[in-house]
Amino acid sequence: MRIKLLFLFMLTILFSACQNSTSKYIYNKGFIYGTVYSIVYQSPDGNDYQKEIDNRFSELTMVFSTYEPESTISKVNQNIETKLEPEFINCFKRAMEISKITNGAFDITAGSMVNAWGFGPEEKEKMTPEIIDSLKQLTGYKKIQLINGKIIKENAAINIDMSAISKGYTSDLIANLLKEKGCTNYMVEIGGEVAAMGKNAKGKVWTIGISKPEDDILVSNTDLQAILHLPNRAMATSGNYRNFYIENGKRYAHTIDPKTGYPVQHSLLSASVVANDCMTADAFATSFMVLGVEQGIEIAQKIPEVEIYFIYADKTGSNQIYMSEGFKDFIVD
């Protein structure tokens, strides 16, 4: 019996050694949705999954990208009958749920507004109050429905844009792909939207930085406002300090308020959200940028599954921080 137990013990050690000899951390980088992705994972068999990841990205691009005329979302916007993929349906349903929670601050029908202001695939228009009013007629999450696998619009001219949720959802889907490969340690980051599980190559919980909201991208790449551990969670950050333009001396940020039709003009500079999945974190980060500090805090306090970190400007122009109690548990001292 002792010999049998010794044999099993030695077999276990040998199996573990074989696992350790093949298992290694792989680093993949590339482009998706017009932004950069960075993926790190411990491959249990030592294989690089770059090809499978890129194939998955190609599939999802043809679902969610408004820059691809043959994508599912482009066909929906052109009122071309098309079969909706499960990924499209899942993302659409979650978008509708978050629109309801935020009272329309998150609204995927704001696509026409985003385009008109020059933050989409179409040519920027010369904005007037009349154009804004006409766009508001085509905006409102209650004006679209998913019925029997089809998007039903109140007005055929309504355009949808799920870029403020699909990027986070894509991070989740790539994380799922890695899980299916047997990965238990990974970090998926797409344009700042992060899904993480397990530990990094040093055996420590993944560490994520929140950039200071500086207009100068060279500064924001190196200067961090906060550093946090992300243990088996997802995080997304939305801000108006990078994607903007100045016209006639006035600054226009990419976050459009669906109710007013204009870019937001409040003190919130950056909203970071930690949640159980990146799709949720992504959508709420955008929502809070629309709502601003006070309304954002008010709604966040009603959502137990999210924690928030806001950077905002006070009356003197100095940056200030607000974070929820739960967010403090993630901050690295």
pLDDT, tens digit only, all 333 positions of the chain: 433 333 333 333 333 334 444 679 999 999 999 899 999 999 999 999 999 999 999 999 999 999 999 999 999 999 999 999 999 999 999 999 999 999 999 999 987 887 777 766 566 667 788 888 889 999 999 999 999 999 999 999 999 999 999 999 999 999 999 999 999 999 999 998 999 999 999 999 999 999 888 655 444 445 788 999 999 999 999 886 554 434 444 444 567 788 888 887 788 999 999 999 999 999 999 999 999 999 999 999 999 999 999 999 888 888 999 999 999 999 997
The helix or strand, by DSSP H or E, that contains position 161, with its residue range, turns out to be none
Q: Are 104 and 258 in contact (CB under 8 A)?
A: yes
| In the block, residue with structure tokens 């990965």 | 183
All structural domains of the chain, each given as residue ranges with its CATH number in brackets, are 24-330 (3.10.520.10)
Q: Tell me if residue 292 falls in helix, strand or coil.
A: coil
Q: Model-level pTM?
A: 0.86
Residue 73: phi and psi, rounded to 5, are -65, -35
- Report the C-alpha gap between 311 and 220 in whole angstroms: 14
Angle between helices 278-291 and 163-180 (to 10 degrees): 160
- Report the C-alpha gap between 288 and 297 in whole angstroms: 8
